[in-house]
Structure 1
């Protein structure tokens, strides 16, 4: 697979991995710890178990195959999530694709925390809710929201955000009775470390 603007490694389509047990706990579990809760995040919060998590880790972090998750949008910028599996330099890179551009723009990376430029809740929802059937990638709106969620850099999310995130988690396999609690943990962590400044230009503007 080739993504113009990103030439770092052996990229492979990863969208089929979203349906595998262990994916969402691998992707989001570390983001559930806000440093203040007595509850220790576990894979079961996402409907997985430790064996699921460990087995899929071997696939997701394979230095010979870097999974790519495309989140194209029908109208406006979309996103690309790439597992950067350089030995000794593992991380997840986040790119934006812009209409009219042939190349993707890297805006952030996750290596225990987000570095780079993030997005507001409304910008994440816009990407999630506008799938492009004409382009290859993830079409399910719940999975799309969860994939771009780590880009959230807004300290005050709308009051509907927890319910929307809880529904997305449940759709992705999280237990119904704990999905809302998991959503709260994720939002607490992501908004607590938020560095969004309303005076900054959004990367969605194409600037």
Structure 2
């Protein structure tokens, strides 16, 4: 897989990893670990166990293979999530793809904390709900929304957001009895760190 700006990194298509046990706890558990939780977060919150999570970590953070998860959209910008497994410079990069541009635009990264420009809930859901069957990448709506979730920087979430995220987590394998609590912790973390300024131009505009 080739992508401008990652010529030195061995990118590999990561979409096949989404269905493997341990993926979602690796991807989202850190967002539940900063004081929002009365109890210690665990892989079981996402339907995984510790052994699965550890095995998945070895795959996701392999310096010789940088998983890239493509989230193409039918009409408008899509996204790519890349595990940047450079020794000494690990991180997760978030890029937007635009129909009228030949290269992707990095808008954010996660290196123990979020930095960059995020999306509103409406923008995030719009990308998640408009998959492009003609393009390679993630087609499942639940997986698309969860991949984009770390980009959420919206201080005014709609009332429907917790229920939507709860259903999404359950669809991705989280236990039905705990999915709502997991959604609550994730959104609490995202709302606390939210830096979205309504005067900013959305990265979806191509600005």
The 5 A counterparts of 1:2-81 are: 2-81=2-81
Query: In 2, Cα distance between the equivalents of 1:189 and 1:13?
Result: 29
CA spacing shift, 1:68–1:52, aligned 2, 3 Å: same
Runs of 5+ in structure 1 lacking a partner?
none
Query: In 2, Cα distance between the equivalents of 1:157 and 1:86?
Result: 35
The 5 A counterparts of 1:160-171 are: 160-171=160-171
The answer as to 2:142 corresponding to 1:142 is yes
CA spacing shift, 1:15–1:36, aligned 2, 3 Å: closer
Residues 98 and 104 of structure 1 are in contact (CA less than 8 Å); yes or no, is this contact kept in structure 2?
yes
Paired residues in the alignment total 207
Q: CA deviation at 1:5?
A: 4.4
Q: Which residue of 2 aligns with 1:94?
A: 94
CA spacing shift, 1:184–1:36, aligned 2, 3 Å: closer
After superposition, the CA RMSD in angstroms is: 0.9
The one-character-per-residue Cα deviations of 1:44-64 (angstroms, maximum 9, x if unpaired) are 000000000000000000000
Q: Which residue of 1 aligns with 2:200?
A: 200
The one-character-per-residue Cα deviations of 1:50-107 (angstroms, maximum 9, x if unpaired) are 0000000000000000000000000000000000001111110000000111100000
> How does the TM-score come out when normalised to structure 2?
0.98
Q: Which residue of 2 aligns with 1:191?
A: 191
Query: In 2, Cα distance between the equivalents of 1:31 and 1:199?
Result: 26
Runs of 5+ in structure 2 lacking a partner?
none
Query: In 1, Cα distance between the equivalents of 2:8 and 2:194?
Result: 28
